[in-house]
Amino acid sequence: MTTKQLCLLGLLFFLISYLFFSKVLPDFQLPIDFAHWFNLIGACLLLSFNEVFPKNRFNYIASIVTALGVIAHVGLCTIDFIMFSFGNNDLAREALSIQISNTPSILYPFIIVGPSLLFIGLSLHAINFIKTNTISVLMVIFGSITIGFSFFILKNGVFMLLSCVVFTSGLGLLLYRNEIEIKTNKQKQFPKL
């Protein structure tokens, strides 16, 4: 499997996780928390974007931020797996939520700030292509901002899913930008009659 294919698989898994989070799909997540498994695997596979984009100083920073975001997603999914394990025990889930809220060393890196680093890192990678693939880059940036906005402010799963579709589509277009450009250039040179 090539690195581009791993990236594409990561985007697919990440998008599927947001289908579960948005509650668009029927809730059949017992006894397995599919949403967080897809999110965890997808986030880990998105680390492959560090390898497919051109290497320069700016991408070096983007790679570090992306890696930190993946680590935070692993922590966030672990916390959510623990929450899921409580089943219908709302008191235990509430107690854990309070404990996490009162522990800044867990709350900020794994709940509030850390997971956002994945979106920031991938957006930083995308910015390298602002001159050549402006629409795709804007899709990535807009999608990453609106995912956070829909999660923290609106608390709207459907808007979060739509934002993720824009985000992953933008990254997918950037991933295959060379193939798209070659196909477009051939069509310009040899138009269909």
Q: Is the pLDDT assigned to residue 69 strictly greater than 60? A: yes
The percent of residues in the chain predicted with pLDDT above 70, rounded, is 90
Q: What is the DSSP letter of 110?
A: I
CA-only gyration radius of the chain, Å: 18
Count of beta carbons in the 10 Å neighbourhood of residue 112? 13
Quote the pLDDT of residue 180: 52
> pLDDT tens digits for 106-165?
999 998 898 899 999 999 999 999 999 999 999 999 999 999 888 888 888 899 999 999
Quote the pLDDT of residue 32: 82
Quote the pLDDT of residue 11: 95
Quote the pLDDT of residue 94: 93
Q: Is 96 strand, coil or helix?
A: helix
- In Å, how far are 34, 37, 122, 172, 174 from 139, measured between CA atoms? 27, 25, 12, 10, 10
> pLDDT tens digits for 86-113?
888 999 999 999 999 999 999 999 988 9
Q: How far is CA 11 from the centre of its chain?
A: 7
In the chain, where the domains are located? 3-189
What is the C-alpha to C-alpha distance for residues 163 and 143, in angstroms, rounded to an integer?
5
Q: Whose structure tokens read 């059949």?
A: 28
The candidate with the shortest Cα–Cα distance to 119, out of 78, 175, 76, 70, is 70
Q: Whose structure tokens read 């709350």?
A: 107
What is the C-alpha to C-alpha distance for residues 183 and 146, in angstroms, rounded to an integer?
31
The CA dihedral of 168, 128, 77, 142, to the nearest 10 degrees, is: -50
Band (23; pLDDT cuts 50, 70, 90): confident
What is the C-alpha to C-alpha distance for residues 8 and 1, in angstroms, rounded to an integer?
11
